Amino acid sequence: DAGVTQSPTHLIKTRGQQVTLRCSPKSGHDTVSWYQQALGQGPQFIFQYYEEEERQRGNFPDRFSGHQFPNYSSELNVNALLLGDSALYLCASSLGVGGSTSGSMQYFGPGTRLTVT
Amino acid sequence: AQSVSQHNHHVILSEAASLELGCNYSYGGTVNLFWYVQYPGQHLQLLLKYFSGDPLVKGIKGFEAEFIKSKFSFNLRKPSVQWSDTAEYFCAVMKKAAGNKLTFGGGTRVLVKP
């Protein structure tokens, strides 16, 4: 049973560039959430995708966008990178039930370490 | 806004000592509560969760947590720690009425000295 996978593992970008991070959910899961974990802090919720739509969004600017594909995998895109975007980006998957993700367990991937120079 | 507070940023213990990590949250509605652990170089793993029922929940590796609704707290405990418990521990809250978005505390780094 494959768990949540993310690619790439590490990434170095320059300020102003754009980046795309990828996530494949755990087998059987249809919901993907993205979190940003800055050094020394807890993860912060970016947004969640279910049925190929953004269902919830945290307090992140529009530079952060995403997409979910029919096979439930997801991408996180960040435009116009800032030094402050350097962080570990975590993907979590879960199972939506009856059109709702309320209360369902999230399983985390290993993350993508993004460094912006 | 909902927040989750973890009282200790760093804890240093000797092996066999008891561990208690505090967690308080500010949301007044019905919540699901979690403790996650992040071992060095590894991804977030679930230690235990509370959804409903017995407020004393047992998790993996000998950890337990107690939900005290009146105090908005969900403290993590382990009677006797091992060197392998060295990790960062995160408390997280999920509002039942708002999907399954997790709000995390800032984490507590635990160092167990052999």
Model confidence pLDDT, tens digit, residues B63-104: 999 999 999 999 999 999 999 999 999 999 998 777 778 999
In 3-state terms, what secondary structure has residue A14?
Answer: coil
Q: Tokens standing for B78?
A: 């382990």
With contacts defined as CB-CB under 8 Å, which chain B residues touch A55?
A: 99
Contact B112, B62 (CB under 8 A): no
pLDDT, mean over chain A: 92
Q: How far apart are CA A44 and CA B6, in angstroms?
A: 15
Mean pLDDT on A49-73: 94
Interface of A with B (CB under 8 A): 31, 33, 35, 40-45, 48, 55-56, 58, 90, 92, 94, 100-111
B97, B101, B104: residue with CB nearest A42: B104
Chains A, B: CB contacts within 8 A come to 65
CA distance B9 to A69: 39
Find the mean pLDDT for residues A97-104: 61
3 state SS of A25? coil
Give the tokens for residue B61: 């590796």
Residue/partner pairs of A42-49 with CB below 8 Å, 24 or more apart: A42/B4, A42/B6, A42/B90, A42/B92, A42/B104, A42/B105, A42/B106, A42/B107, A43/A90, A43/B44, A43/B90, A43/B102, A43/B104, A44/B104, A45/B101, A45/B102, A45/B103, A46/A76, A48/A101, A48/B99, A48/B100, A48/B101, A49/A74
Question: For all residues of chain B together, what is the average pLDDT?
Answer: 93
Tokens of B95: 């509002």
Would you say B2 and B59 are in contact if contact means Cβ atoms under 8 Å apart? no
> How much is the pLDDT for A101?
58
State the pLDDT confidence band at A102, using cuts at 50, 70 and 90.
low
Interchain pair A45, B101: CB under 8 A? yes
What is the pLDDT at residue A87?
A: 97
Which pLDDT value is given to residue A105?
81
For residue A4, give the chain B residue with the closest CA. B43
pLDDT, residue A100, reads: 61
In the three-class reduction of DSSP (H, G, I as helix; E, B as strand; rest coil), residue B8 is classed as: coil
Q: Smallest CA–CA separation between B89 and chain A, in Å?
A: 9
Highest mean pLDDT among A49-58, A78-87, A99-108: A78-87
Percent of chain A whose predicted confidence (pLDDT) is above 90: 82
Q: What is the pLDDT of residue B29?
A: 83
> Is pLDDT at B44 greater than 70 in this prediction?
yes
pLDDT band at B1 (very low <50, low <70, confident <90, very high): low
Report the pLDDT averaged over residues B28-54: 91
Structure token digits, residue A41: 């802090």
pLDDT at A43 over 80: yes
Q: What is the pLDDT of residue A37?
A: 96
Which residue from B minimizes the CA distance to A109? Answer: B43
Looking at the complex, report in whole angstroms how far the Cα of residue A70 sits from the nearest Cα belonging to chain B. Answer: 21
Which tokens hold the place of A65?
């966008």
DSSP structure class, residue A27? T
CB contact B108 to A (< 8 Å): no
